[in-house]
Amino acid sequence: MTQDTLYFVHISDTHFGPTPGYSRHGQVALPCAQRLVDVINDLPVTPDFVIHTGDVVTDPHPASYALAAETFADLRVPIYYVNGNHDAALDIKNYLPMGPKEENTADPGVLSYAFERKGYRFLILDAHGPIEIDPQGYLSESQMEIVRQEARPDGPPLIIFIHYPTLPLDSPWMDKNMLITNGDDFHRALLPARRRLRAVFYGHVHRSMQTIRDGIVYAAVGSTFAQFTAWPNDKIIDYESQALPAFNFVHLMSQQTIIHQHTFPRP
């Protein structure tokens, strides 16, 4: 079967606060998200949807989600969300409208679902772990079972969205603090689907980067307002004060996937 070309915008780590002036890492978050909405609406090619891979807010406060909902309501295409370590799944469900989807769980505290567009299947996983391992993630057995059911050799092209990186990033602070603790198990569970799995897209690391193992692509996007460093000698977290806000524009085509990395001027 030949799929139509599908386009989506990948964003992450907006970190809305409860007030318009809220700042984090030396940058004010809200104006960047507002500018990003304008940038997406003005793209020369209209995406089919936007995916936000988590940390919509810094703290799960109703006022923060209200600002997020108000900001993203101006998008002219549907938006979907992933549960980040700073988020609460129930709050995302209650405050942030999404496009059509099918739920993978009846648990109100877990945000896991799937949807299909133009012959592609999109799977959203929730790796929000217990508080004692934060900011690391963990895929529960119920989420792993969903992965095993979805990651079969046959089926439509599969795209997965998750908040956390799966595999080591050759950066000491990142590898100690940011990964899914059972990432190797997750990766092995994906192997049967490697011929149809286009990529695993994630956020959390405030950095655009790609990892390829066993033919599977893992692709991160930069934050909408503040970027981390991820050098092999980074023993502690650092920020690039001059780095611009970022998003990715993804092309899903019949025979290939293209990931364009973009920045935009800080307002």
Q: Map out the domains of the chain with their CATH numbers.
A: 6-263 (3.60.21.10)
Stated pTM of the model: 0.97
| 209-213, strands of its sheet edge to edge | 102-103, 113-117, 120-124, 158-161, 197-202, 216-220, 209-213
**pLDDT tens digits, one per residue of 21-77:** 999 988 999 999 999 999 999 999 999 999 999 999 999 999 999 999 999 999 999
Tell whether the model's pLDDT for residue 19 goes beyond 70.
Answer: yes
DSSP assignment string, 175-190: HHHTSBTTHHHHHHHH
Cβ–Cβ < 8 Å for 84, 124: no
Q: What is the mean pLDDT of residues 129-149?
A: 97
Distances (CA, A) of 250 to 29, 167, 178, 213, 256: 24, 21, 24, 20, 11
**pLDDT tens digits, one per residue of 189-243:** 999 999 999 999 999 999 999 999 999 999 999 999 999 999 999 999 889 988 9
The strand pair at 6-11 and 27-28 is best described as: unpaired
Reading the block at residue 12, the tokens are 């992450």
Angle, alpha carbons 71-220-8 (nearest 5°): 55
Tell whether the model's pLDDT for residue 1 goes beyond 60.
Answer: no
Sole residue written with tokens 């992965």: 147
Residue 166 DSSP one-character state? -
pLDDT number for residue 38? 98
Residue 82 DSSP one-character state? -
